[in-house]
Amino acid sequence: MPHTARHAHLDARAVALLLACCMFWGFQQVLVKATVSEVAPVFQAALRFALALVLLWGWCLWRKVPLWQRDGSLGPGLLAGALFAGEFACVYTGLQFTHASRLTVFLYASPFWVALLLPRFVPGERLRGAQWAGLACAFCGVLLALADGGAAHSARQWLGDGLGLLAGIFWGLTTVTIRSTRLGRTAPEKQLFYQVAVSTAMYPVLSLALGEPWRWDFSGFALLSIGTQAAVGAFASYLAWMWLLAHYPATRISVFVFLTPVFALLAGVLWLHEPLTAGFVGALALVAAGIVLVNRQPRAALASVPPP
């Protein structure tokens, strides 16, 4: 496999891809929540990743991406797949007990786990003081946005919040596994294939174990929802994320995910006609400031950054 060029900082292409992914992921949390009432959560995830696996396999055949060669990635690939499957099992199940925006903020605490654990394996991923301040600033912005959202509590709120937090830990561990093992030196498509394939194998078993009903009389909305989650969410956006991880520092990339809970709240405003308040605008400003701090480059280093 040819050497993969890595960038020390995010360029315009990376920022554009990250913003597009975060916008969709914010919308997707609301979409999944809206579909849970019709399609059982883990069964919904099983359908989503089965469709995504077909799309990804077709993509790999078209692009002639080698999936079956022995490259030492099987062990870490299966581990990453299990962590990935655990993450989304927690997400889909947790959405039954808590609001999408609340679960999203716990899920997207993942950058803290990445920032804490990854430098132990990849020293070049260390953050400086100003970047830690930016991470904290962005997280405060997310908390402000959620507090301003005024989400109502339910009797089983703690369970949903806990599953969201566990999902974020799984996500962080998946990133660390990819970046610190031979899996990180394989094609992004192969990395994603491990995760989607393991999820496709695990979810039907988990769904049956939980006693979920397998209903096939889907409404048009449910079909569109699952199709969108598969084609855009589990295929296109995650493939873009894996490519970004292969080319840019994970700790710089991960801070952008703080935008997703804000986009989730914005989706609620547009879809559910919730009011857009000054507090929400202030949260957006805090998140934007955090991203600027985390991606701030020393002046002398600017010339060494390769063009996009």
**What confidence tens digit (pLDDT) does each residue in 142-153 have?**
777 667 645 445
Give the contacts of 118 (CB within 8 A, at least 6 positions apart): 125, 175, 176, 179, 180, 250, 251
Q: Quote the mean pLDDT of the chain.
A: 80
When mean pLDDT is compared over 4-8, 52-56, 287-291, the highest value belongs to: 52-56
In this prediction, residue 6 carries a pLDDT of 64
Side chain identity at 192, as an amino acid letter? L
The mean pLDDT of 58-87, rounded to a whole number, is 92
Tell me the angle at which helices 278-294 and 129-149 cross, rounded to the nearest 10 degrees. 160
Q: Is the pLDDT of residue 49 over 90?
A: yes
Phi and psi based region of residue 19 (left: phi greater than 0; alpha: psi -120 to 50; beta: remaining): alpha
**Count of residues making up the chain:** 308
Summarised one tens digit per residue, pLDDT across range 79-97 is 999 999 999 999 999 988 8
Q: How far apart are CA 253 and CA 184, in angstroms?
A: 15
Stated pTM of the model: 0.78
When mean pLDDT is compared over 165-169, 222-226, 261-265, the highest value belongs to: 222-226
- Residue of higher predicted confidence among 259 and 56: 56
In this prediction, residue 201 carries a pLDDT of 96
In this prediction, residue 253 carries a pLDDT of 76
Q: 3, 7, 257: which is closest to 112 by C-alpha?
A: 257
Rg over alpha carbons for the chain, rounded to the nearest Å, is 19
DSSP SS3 for 248: coil
Q: Could you write out the three-class secondary structure of 173-238?
A: HHHHHHHHCHHHHCCHHHHHHHHHHHHHHHHHHHHHHCCCCCCCCCCHHHHHHHHHHHHHHHHHHH
The mean pLDDT of 270-278, rounded to a whole number, is 67
Q: What percent of the chain has pLDDT over 70?
A: 81
Side chain identity at 284, as an amino acid letter? L
Q: Is the pLDDT of residue 170 over 80?
A: yes
